[in-house]
Amino acid sequence: MDITTSTLQLNTPDGRMETFEARPKSDGWYPGIVVLMEAFGLNDHIKKVTERIAQEGYVAVAPDLYHRESERIVPYSDLQKAIGIMNRLQDPKIMDDVGAAIAHLKSQGNVKSGSIGVTGFCMGGRFTYLSAAHHSKDVKAAVVFYGGAIPMGDPSPLLRTGEISCPIHLFFGGKDPMIPADHVNQIKTELTNKKKNFEMKVYPEATHGFFCDERPSYHAESAKDAWEKTKSFFAQHLK
């Protein structure tokens, strides 16, 4: 599907937030998806993912969650700097950002306001889980790619599992040094105990960042399978 892209400036309580948008060129009525970035910022990889989602028939937006920071894109080679910026983020403010992205989608004449999903990677995966709880009235489907630290924070996203009302799909790498197997098990247990509609896939040979083809951690087989599952999941629940 042919798409068009643009860079938007959305209003948040802390000022303007740059947001990358990709949408189908053809007239129609489409579901909307918010794409939440990794700790490295709103870089080319996240923009490409946003474009791929739009090509499947969605209006997709990727907000710059670092819009309060002076340095907003960090190279993959500087993980420590990325972690430093990520650790300054505050969950309530990020939920404001996600809320601004959702409000934008709902205001668009060609977006089905009752069919909005969220997906995110690494740090963005954690915020996807939190968004499913915090914005439960708006988020109708959520896909989490190697969301780290979901059981961490005060309150942690995990503690808000009971607020999630949408189906949620989670992907993890079995060889991920940044997400302990114990965290994955805690998430699975909590979702099960709270009787949530969820699917979880752990790829035994994959590590952290396995979906990003610009990093050494890329695992093509796992990334391909996760993408097919993501497309099917969003189509089932949003289209």
pLDDT, average across residues 27-53? 98
Which pair of tokens denotes residue 13? 């309580």
pLDDT digits over 174-210, tens only?
999 999 999 999 999 999 999 999 999 999 999 999 9
Determine the pLDDT at residue 85: 98
Q: Which one, of 213, 227, 239, 232, lies nearest residue 46 by Cα? A: 213
Catalytic residues: 122, 176, 208
Q: Tell me, what's the pLDDT at 125? A: 98
Q: Considering the entire predicted model, what is its pTM?
A: 0.98
Strand 15-24 versus strand 3-12 pairing type: antiparallel
Q: According to the model, what pLDDT value does residue 175 have?
A: 98
Q: In this structure, what are the phi and psi dihedrals at residue 109, rounded to the nearest 5 degrees?
A: -65, -20
Whole-number Å distance between alpha carbons of 4 and 22? 6
Sign of CA dihedral 169, 37, 40, 163: negative
Neighbours of 87 (CB within 10 A): 10
| % of the chain at pLDDT higher than 90 | 100
**Structure confidence by residue, pLDDT tens digits, 207-223:** 999 999 999 999 999 99
- Residue-level pLDDT at 182: 97
Residue-wise pLDDT for 161-178, tens only, equals: 999 999 999 999 999 999
Please name which of 153, 145, 106, 107 lies closest in space to residue 128, comparing C-alpha atoms.
145
Mean pLDDT, residues 100-107 taken together = 98
Q: Give the list of residues 6+ apart from residue 235 with CB closer than 8 angstroms, or none.
A: 56
CA torsion sign for 179, 99, 119, 210 is negative
CATH class of 3-238: alpha beta
pLDDT of residue 54: 98
Asked if residues 143 and 113 have their Cβ atoms less than 8 Å apart, the reply is no
Q: Where are the domains of the chain?
A: 3-238
Q: What is the mean pLDDT of residues 11-31?
A: 97
Task: Note the pLDDT of residue 204.
Answer: 98
Cα radius of gyration rounded to whole Å, the chain: 16
Percent of residues, the chain, with pLDDT higher than 70 = 100
What pLDDT shows up at residue 196?
Answer: 98
